[in-house]
Structures are given as structure tokens and as C-alpha cells.
Chains A and B, each alone.
Chain A
Amino acid sequence: MTETFDDLRDLYQEVILDHGRRPRHARRLDSFDAVAKGDNPMCGDRIEVWVKYAPDGTIADTGFQARGCAISVASADLMAESVIGRSKADTRALFDAFREMARTGKCPACDSALAEPLERLEPLAGVHEYPSRVKCATLAWHALVAALDGGKEASSE
């Protein structure tokens, strides 16, 4: 029945469908240190990301609430998995590398110290073939980085 969409498996890999359907981190944190909203005015996607820091300044926990497509929800969930336990600087570097991957499908940073989290994010690389969907994958990251920067709102525009 679904073999007609086999060529879409590069975009909708099983891990994306799974995290899109059953996100593990889709929750508001009871106690948090930073929060920011993300908004993609072109398509109406919205997300809010909460962050709790550990005493050493690393991200102790993060959660989100999103209204958006399977790609944006899965990306937010994989982001949360990838950044918990990381410093702000590492998280920003990871965002830069992920954004590059989402836009171009290439991952020059994949051999670096960030290889392990980037491997987790790799299923999202397929969006680079769908220019109108790249923003779906990066919106959560824009909101997260806005929260780290102490901001309140981000836009993927």
C-alpha cells in the first residue's frame, strides 16, 4: 500500500515518524531557567522550548511544546536528546553543524567531537532535498538558542 511513497523514506525515516508520533521530550518543565518561543510565520508552526541548567552551566533538561508537522516535532525531540548534558557552547556548535546538514545534506563536522550527537540527528539530513521543509527542521533549534541567549522569541525566517 505504501510502496508508492518508498522514495520518501529519505525524508520520513522510521526514526522521524516514531519521534514525530511519540516525542519523548514534549513537555513543559516544572522548573526552568530559560524559555523561548519559535514561530514560522510562513507556515504557522509554533514551538516553545524550556531549559533547565545544571550547576556547572550545562543543560540539565529541556522540553518543548510544538504545533507543527512530523519533521518539526521529530527534530525538536531529537534536539532535546542531543543537547541534554551539553554546554551552551557545544549546543551552539551543534546547531551550526545541524543547520549545515539540513541545508546542504553535508556534514563537515561529523568527524569532530560532535560526531555522536550528529549521528543521532542524521536522519533529518534528508530535508535538504525539500527546501520548503528545512525550516521545519531548524525551528526548534532557533528557539533553543534564543532561550540560551536569554531571548524570548525566535523565528525561522
Chain B
Amino acid sequence: MNVTMRPALLNVARIREDFPILRQKIRGKDLVFLDSAASAQKPRAVIDAMREAMETQYANVHRGLHWMSERTTDAYEAARDAAAALLNARDRHEVVITRNITESLNLMAHSYGRGILRPGQAVLISGMEHHSNIVPWQLLRDDRGIELRVAPITDAGELDMDAFEALLADGKVGLVSMTHMSNVLGTYTPAERVVRIAHAHGAKVLFDGAQAVVHRRIDVQALDCDFYAFTGHKLYGPTGIGVLWGRRELLDAMPPFLGGGEMISSVSYEHSTWAEVPHKFEAGTPPILEGIGLKAAIDYVQSIGYDAIAAHEASLIDHALARLGAIDGVRILGRAQDRGGVVSFTLDRAHAHDVATLLDRQGIAVRAGHHCAEPLMRRFNLDSTARASFAIYTTHDEIDYLADSLARVREFFK
């Protein structure tokens, strides 16, 4: 018998019951939340885990000699194990916990950029980066004379691989820092190819996985990258927690980022020594409750499974491109072959802000603006777009409702 293997589809109705906020009404209408790429909603499991910790089991971590501290340390450190498993990291000590992905990238610009790279070397980013993967490297450039190079993207919104390779040819690029999935175009970077080419030219590779980790299984060993960063609040976890994974030997060689408690081995006025990784990069009381929440979020995502999540996302994006693309006057930004669950678009008769305000009146939350990616907007001669982004709780009906509402918005601005 010839059996076609299909990934199990999500039971979206069941999943929606896990997200209490989805029962909210907006001006009397059902909330249609299509802004998850900015920040995702939280399942009951995350809410409960954080509340229960505060109600039953909370103290500072890593230093107390009492029961509460030991239990809380275990609960918090479980986030590191969960993140290590999520990324298929070889060693839990390779997982550095930060406050968000912006801090992860700034940590890299500081500790790798200032600590390892040398003046005359270069950092290479792409033309579809979030500001958080542009500005830290500009600060590094201006401070240390480390060049910042930008690999262009094509009209389709894909990385121009020939140009990318050409920018590596002189061997000066020490680090490639690139989005794994664009928050504006939805384009997935061909990560394995990027790593292969970069390594062939002697450059290490850091991926900004803020969007990608939400939709696809990430395996840093299979990708063969050197660093990978993501943030908790887009992955159905709390705000205030992010992750930087790095190869142990690279993290070991890097100087600390912030100074303070937690990150030291011993301190005197003359000289201090640093803790082992990852604690070397984790100054101060960490985001304890957020760690407990992130662990619950990762467990929740893993219980659903990335096969089903990725299949759902692919189905939603196909539906959205078909429905929105069929509306007169709608222009969808980017047409990458491999794209994830965000759709940025413009409407011929109305500015993105007007579109967002009218959609809001229908209970639909979309983002409008430059999406913290101004250079990318300029690349497409735009100031702003509206953006609908999808999550595990997004339904096909919601996309139909968006499309119908958008057609009405266009009629309104006739």
C-alpha cells in the first residue's frame, strides 16, 4: 500500500482554548490577533507556571542555602535545559540567558565584536535585518573601526547569494550576523548555505532566530552555525527573557558583557576573575520568573510539535497569499520561495496606518509602520506597510475575515 506521510494538522480549536486572551472582545467583536510576530499571546501553561512560582516557590537563585532558593534555582535552570533541547545544543552550558534578543545581539557586538574581532575585520549582515541586528554593529564600527557590510536582497525579497559570497571574498569578514526569518518579508534565509559559504571564507555565523524559532525546528548542530539567538515573548513565553546559544569554545574565549554579581568567580579591588560560561555573561539577578515561564512555553510548543506547527504555518501563508493577493490594489511585499508566517502589504488607496485603524475597528490587530526595518522599507521604496502575522492559534477563517475586511477598507477610501 502506498501511504503518503503527512504531518499531523493542528487542532487549532483545541489550541485556542489554551489561550485565555482569545476570548476577549474588541469593541464588541471577536479579537482577531494577527500581530504575533511583534509579540505572541500566552497559553494557560505559561500563565500558571509563573503564577504558581510566585505563589508557592520563589526566592533568588544560585546563592541561597535554603530550600526555597534551591527549588527556585532548579526551576529556573530547567529553562536552560529546555532551550538547549529546543535548539539541539550539545551542552547546556552553551545557553546564555539574556533579557531579550536585543540584549543577545548587543552581547555579541560587545563580547565577540570588541573582544574577538580586530580593527580591519568586518561584520556582514543582510539587507532585511531588524534594527536590533543593525545598530549594535554600527556602534561597534564607530567605536572599533570594524567595517559593517550589508548583503543585498533581491526584488523577490531573498538574499542575493552571489553578492553575499562576493562580500566574503577578501576574507575580512569575521562574523556573519543574519536573520533566519525576516520579520517583514517572511523570507527564510537559506541557513545551511549561508553557514557553508561563510565558513569557507573563515567567518563565524550568528542567526537572529526571533521569528524562525516560532515556526520551525531549529537544530544548531545540523545548521552548523556558531551562534543562535531568540527571544521568549514571540515564542508564547513572557517578555524579559532571551537566549543566546554559542559554541562552547567561542563563548569561553569571549570576555564578559555586563559586570556584577553572578558573573564572577572572585572579586577583589585589584582583580576579579570570571565565572565559567554561561554565568560569565549573566550578571545580576536573572529573569527568574521569566525563565520559569519560558520553560513552560518551550514545553508547550514541544508538546504540539514542530511538524504540525510548520505545516499549519505553511497552510496559513498559502491561504493568505491567495486571498490577499486576489484583492485589487493590494501589493504583497516579497515573493520568496521559502517564506514563513508574516505577510506585509500595502493598499493603493490608503496609508498603512489608516488601514490598521480601520481593521482595528473590525477587531483585527495588525501592525503598521516600518517594523523596525527602515533600510528594508527604503529598499522597496516604502515608508510603511501593514503586516499580518500568524501563530499556532491563527485560523483560516481569520485570514478570510482579514481579506473581506481589507476589501471593505478599500471601498471606504474610494
Cα of A11 to Cα of B384 in the assembled complex, Å:
21
For A4, the closest partner residue in chain B by CB is: B408
Chain B residues near A4 (CB-CB < 8 A): 361-362, 408
* Any A CB within 8 A of the CB of B350: yes
For B27, the closest partner residue in chain A by CB is: A7
Known: A2-B408, A43-B369, A70-B413. A133 touches B374 (CB 8 A): no
* Any B CB within 8 A of the CB of A85: no
- Taking a contact as CB atoms under 8 Å apart, the answer to whether A45 and B383 are in contact is yes
What 0/1 readout, one digit per residue, does chain A (59-77) give for beta carbons within 8 Å of chain B?
0000000011111000000
- Taking a contact as CB atoms under 8 Å apart, the answer to whether A69 and B351 are in contact is yes
* Any A CB within 8 A of the CB of B411: yes
A1 to chain B, nearest CB (A): 5
B345 to chain A, nearest CB (A): 16
Cα of A46 to Cα of B409 in the assembled complex, Å:
23
Known: A44-B374, A44-B377. A2 touches B354 (CB 8 A): no
Q: How many residues of A contact B (CB 8 A)?
A: 23
Cα of A45 to Cα of B368 in the assembled complex, Å:
12
Q: Please tell me which one of the listed residues B350, B353, B412, B413 contacts residue A43 in the complex, with CB atoms under 8 A apart.
A: B353
- Taking a contact as CB atoms under 8 Å apart, the answer to whether A2 and B411 are in contact is yes
- Taking a contact as CB atoms under 8 Å apart, the answer to whether B408 and A1 are in contact is yes
Chain B residues near A7 (CB-CB < 8 A): 361
- Taking a contact as CB atoms under 8 Å apart, the answer to whether B354 and A70 are in contact is yes
- Taking a contact as CB atoms under 8 Å apart, the answer to whether B357 and A68 are in contact is no
Task: Find the residue from B353, B358, B377, B408 having the highest chain A CB count within 10 A.
Answer: B353
Chain A residues near B411 (CB-CB < 8 A): 1-2
- Taking a contact as CB atoms under 8 Å apart, the answer to whether A5 and B408 are in contact is yes
* 16 more A-B residue pairs beyond the given contacts A8-B357, A45-B353, with a C-beta to C-beta distance below 8 A: A4-B361, A4-B408, A5-B358, A5-B361, A5-B409, A5-B412, A43-B368, A44-B377, A44-B384, A45-B383, A68-B351, A68-B383, A70-B354, A70-B413, A130-B357, A133-B353
Residues on B facing A (Cβ under 8 Å): 350-354, 357-358, 361-362, 368-370, 374, 377, 383-384, 408-409, 411-413
What are the 3 A-B residue pairs with the smallest beta carbon separation, nearest first? A69-B351, A69-B353, A44-B370
